[in-house]
Amino acid sequence: MVDSVQAQIADFISLITTRNPNEPEFHQAVHEVACSVIPFMEDKPEYREARILERIAEPDRIVSFRVSWEDDQGRVQINRGYRVQNNNAIGPYKGGLRFTGDLKLSVLKFLAFEQTFKNSLTGLPMGGGKGGANFDPKGKSDREVMRFCQSFMTQLFRYIGRHTDVPAGDIGVGAREVSFLFSQYKRLTNEFAGVLTGKGLSFGGSQVRTEATGYGTVYFMEDMLHTRNQALEGKIALVSGSGNVAQYAIEKLLHKGARVVTASDSGGFIHDPAGITPERLAWIKELKNKRRGRISEYADEFNVPYFPGERPWRVPCDVALPCATQNEIHRKDAIALCENGCMSVAEGANMPTTNDGIDIFHESGMLYGPGKAANAGGVAISGLEMSQNAMHLSWSAEELNERLRNIMTNIHEKCREYGEERDRIDYVKGANIGGFVKVADAMLAYGIH
């Protein structure tokens, strides 16, 4: 039985690898899910015969388009934009847009695949998608970013819509970019519609969306710690990244009485042993969201060490929250975290830990919350932004924060339902199966297409 399951997983991965050559991130994400879902399907022939997992792992549609724009020197620039519409069995495609210089289709495919499970876990009616461009907003002027976003949306608008596909932000796409994108959609269609989430509060945005991913990740960690009668108060926390997710993860960790000793960007990390204070966090927000500077400046400003080209995982800690990008915790980093006494990892980022790193976490018995569960608070509040837009009303911050708190606990419970083992909860298994079932049942009902 076990051998046959292992053989099925190997066959499945070999099929995915052959069908999608040179897409290591996509293979990695599918592999992780297959290891949970294929054993689960052993006594569920209806899912197996309908080849549901194989269908979820083949995107419904991928569009790619040229984005031409003019830089401040009047030179023509050309980038490539994409939208991966992975699966809309349970709702319109939903997921962020990522702008990074090195963006590859493999990364967007893994993100859109994971998003399908994550969105299902929120309990809201959202399918999975992701998009973006190989465009790096860093070092560009506001006007250049505006012209790029206008050109990007001039292509993208024909593939999206409030009932079709609703993008949002991700790495390199924050409030500024979403505003430019939304306004171009409005110009092109003459429609004021909830076609993007993460909008400004004056034009249909939701309270708590900015905070939701980071806060939600901390809530999820809090729920994991509760299962062992632990709390965040007094814990030493490592955070990576210093963008949207990291900033609000740090903020909520401070509310909960934790001591956050690191932050990072693509250049390296800072170590502030006394702990990032609310004042220093406000300084980081100003640095990253307004001045668009580097985290190394924190080290100069507050006279703490900066480690260029390194990640924070070798600093001793109680808990760790990777909030930057994929594959930032490798096996050796996972070993260092465990050896240094880290008791829980909650992923604010998508797929920050390699699969052999996850194995180390599981072997150590630590509380490990994978991104598709732990960081689902962002897209959950996006889903509620869509609801508010559809009803032409807006809820208060208190209301939304309470809903976010409840959604994260519901996701934790879903992970428990499908991932509980004799002496622990396997959150990877719980999140993968918990996200899979709703999508699979809808696909079964639809028949074959």
**Binding flag, residue 170, ligand NDP (CB under 6 A):** yes
Q: Which of 94, 252, 256, 280 binds ligand 2IT (CB under 6 A)?
A: 94
Q: Are the C-beta atoms of 196 and 167 separated by less than 8 Å?
A: yes
Give φ, ψ of 50 to 5 degrees. Answer: -80, 0
**Binding flag, residue 206, ligand 2IT (CB under 6 A):** no
x/- binding map, residues 357-396, to ligand 2IT, per CB under 6 A? ---------------------xx--x--------------
Smallest Cα–Cα separation from 85: which of 122, 27, 32, 127? 127
**Which one is catalytic: 130, 235, 372, 414?**
130
Q: Which stretch binds ligand NDP (CB under 6 A): 7-15, 19-27, 140-148, 240-248?
A: 240-248
Angstrom distance (rounded) from CA 15 to CA 29: 14
Q: Which of 59, 91, 92, 95 binds ligand 2IT (CB under 6 A)?
A: 95
Number of residues that bind ligand NDP (CB under 6 A): 23
Of ligand 2IT, ligand NDP, none, which one sits near residue 223, judging by CB under 5 to 8 A according to partner kind? Answer: none
**Binding flag, residue 119, ligand NDP (CB under 6 A):** no
The single-letter DSSP state of residue 206 is P
Angstrom distance (rounded) from CA 231 to CA 233: 6
SS3 category, 321: strand
Q: How far is the CB of 387 from ligand 2IT (least distance, A)?
A: 13
- CA quadruple 195, 406, 418, 29: dihedral positive or negative? positive
Name the residue number minimizing CB distance to ligand NDP.
Answer: 243
Please give, one letter per residue, the 3-state secondary structure of 63-108.
EEEEEEEECCCCCEEEEEEEEEEEECCCCCEEEEEEECCCCCHHHH
Q: How far is the CB of 317 from ligand 2IT (least distance, A)?
A: 24
Of ligand 2IT, ligand NDP, none, which one sits near residue 94, judging by CB under 5 to 8 A according to partner kind? Answer: ligand 2IT
Catalytic: 130? Answer: yes
Strand partners, 165: 93, 161
The residues of the shown chain that bind ligand 2IT, judged by CB under 6 A, are 94-96, 115, 118, 168, 170, 197, 350, 378-379, 382
Active site residues: 130
